[in-house]
Amino acid sequence: MASRGKKQKKRATMRLVYIDFWSALKISFLVSIIVAVITVALGLGAWWLLDRFGVVGSVSAFLADIAGDQGAALVAGLTFSNVMTFTLVVALLEVIVVSALGAIFAALYNLAVHVVGGWKVTFGSD
């Protein structure tokens, strides 16, 4: 009598031979939105910490002591509105670049599949 406790393992092997361009663009856009929100939150948090501990004021005073009015003018443009504007511009550029890279990756993968035959994926149940 055969042992009933032993189950047969099932495996399925497939090849990924096509990535839909529009699906890749949509997914990369969603990922880039998430990363952009994180970038803005980190910029806001960094500014809050630097302002809370007085780092910006200390640097301004230090540069004023060393170089006079010209040294203080170096940090004069370092305001909350300027820092957040820069952070938002970086986040917007990141959304555009990451979305474009996702679409380019899908197109290049679809071209490379003709040469290498796709990506072998094995699914199994243990």
CA dist 117 and 110 (Å) reads 10
Domain-located, residue 73: no
CA dist 124 and 11 (Å) reads 4
- Domain span holding position 46: 21-54+80-115
Domain-located, residue 67: no
Taking the CA atoms of 56, 61, 65 and 71 in sequence, report the sign of the dihedral they define. positive
pLDDT attached to residue 72: 72
For residue 1, pLDDT over 60 is answered with: no
The number of domains in the chain is: 1
Domain-located, residue 62: no
The pLDDT tens digits for 4-27 are 556 777 888 888 888 899 999 999
Domain-located, residue 11: no
Average pLDDT over residues 90-119: 93
Q: How far is CA 117 from the centre of its chain?
A: 29
> What residue type is 12 in one-letter code?
A
Taking the CA atoms of 22, 26, 31 and 35 in sequence, report the sign of the dihedral they define. positive
* Token pair belonging to 69: 């009015």
The pLDDT tens digits for 43-61 are 999 999 988 998 877 877 7
pLDDT attached to residue 62: 82
